[in-house]
Amino acid sequence: MRRIRRLKGSSREVIHKPTGASNAEAQTTVKPPMKNLISRRRFLLHSTAVCAMSALPDRLIGATNEPPEARLDFPLMDLHVHLDNSTIEKVLELPAARTVKFGIVEHAGTKENKYPVVLSNDAELKARNAMLEGKPVFKGIQTEWTDWMGCFSPEALAQLDFVLTDAMTFPGKDGQRVKLWEPRVEERVEMRDKQEFMDRYVDWHVAILSKQPIDILANVSWLPAPLAGDYDAFWTPARMQEVIDAAVKFRVAIEISSSFRLPRLPFLRAAKAAGAKFCFGSNGRYPAMGKLDYSVQMAKELALTHSDIFVPAPDGQKAVQRRFPAKRS
């Protein structure tokens, strides 16, 4: 068993990767984070597919010509949806909104983070939540870097349905945040020894899972371009298990990402065997929300049932309340 090498210092950043690319493209192509790069095939759900959630019918998901064992027995949710420059009214007019319940996330942290929307204080968070109030959606945020918790009170965070983050921004050679999908990332992040980088990258996942009050880890097992061409060599069973064990220990759901078509099946099988919870995410910008073909495919491959699926927790059981009970109101 390899020696686990822990990161020094406390600086770390958590951000997102653009949706819309195929698995190969998402793993090997460096793209800006704020564009829907490639339109994906339409999300194939029969018109009788439904969600047993607010404003959605109460039936099983799946085409009527599928055998019963091929259907999903849980409501379909896309918990990684960004409004960016669209509006909630426009998003809820999409056909997918009739069969999928969306979880709306906006980036949250200091204004140093550059996105179309960055929520940076209680007032901005409460205003966003008020805009979504009464809509058939979940309210979430996608957190940024290591200082995001200092932007909000525990009381304001507890008004959310969930908090989502990922490991795709990493401390650079100077300790500052680096987006791992940026061009010439090797100039800012030490990657000459790729196996050693992977050890640090796994440690980074574990640090995020263990130190931040999050409900969902998104874009799990994504690799930067210098490593992406040899996924199986870098995501060894031992490295997968380290991340999975931390997710289970801290009760963090693993996103099955339809934008990146990740994690791959061996990772997901190991996560299911360990008792992990799962959720689905498109990382969608208008009009790509609710396109969950890979997520549904993997759910069927794994024979996931409702007991395997993350559901936003009630008040008192949210991650920020469980992990930091002394700060509760």
Residue 40: its pLDDT value, please?
31
Is there a contact between 82 and 105 (Cβ–Cβ < 8 Å)? yes
Model-level pTM?
0.78
Q: Per-10-residue mean pLDDT for the chain, 329 residues long? A: 43 40 40 36 31 34 44 94 93 95 94 85 97 97 90 94 95 93 94 97 97 96 97 98 98 98 98 98 95 97 97 94 65
Neighbours of 115 (CB within 10 A): 18
- Antiparallel, parallel or unpaired: β 77-81 and 162-165: unpaired
Q: φ, ψ for residue 49 (rounded to 5)?
A: -70, 135
Cα–Cα nearest to 36, from 280, 286, 256: 286
Dist. CA 105–CA 128, nearest whole Å: 10
- Three-state DSSP string of the chain: CCCCCCCCCCCCECCCCCCCCCHHHHHHCCCCCCCCCCCCCCCCCCCCCCCCCCCCCCCCECCCCCCHHHCECCCCEEEEECCCCCCHHHHHCCHHHHCCEEEEEEEECCCCCCCCCEECCHHHHHHHHHHHCCCCCEEEEEECCCCHHHHCCHHHHCCCCEEEECCCEEECCCCCEEECCCCCHHHCCCCCCHHHHHHHHHHHHHHHHHHCCCCEECCCCCCCHHHHCCHHHHCCHHHHHHHHHHHHHCCCEEEEECCCCECCHHHHHHHHHCCCCEEEECCECCCCCCCCHHHHHHHHHHCCCHHHECCCCCCCCCHHHHHCHHHCC
Question: In one letter, which amino acid is 217?
Answer: L
Paired with 162 in beta bridges are 140
Residue 111: its pLDDT value, please?
87
Residue 314: its pLDDT value, please?
94
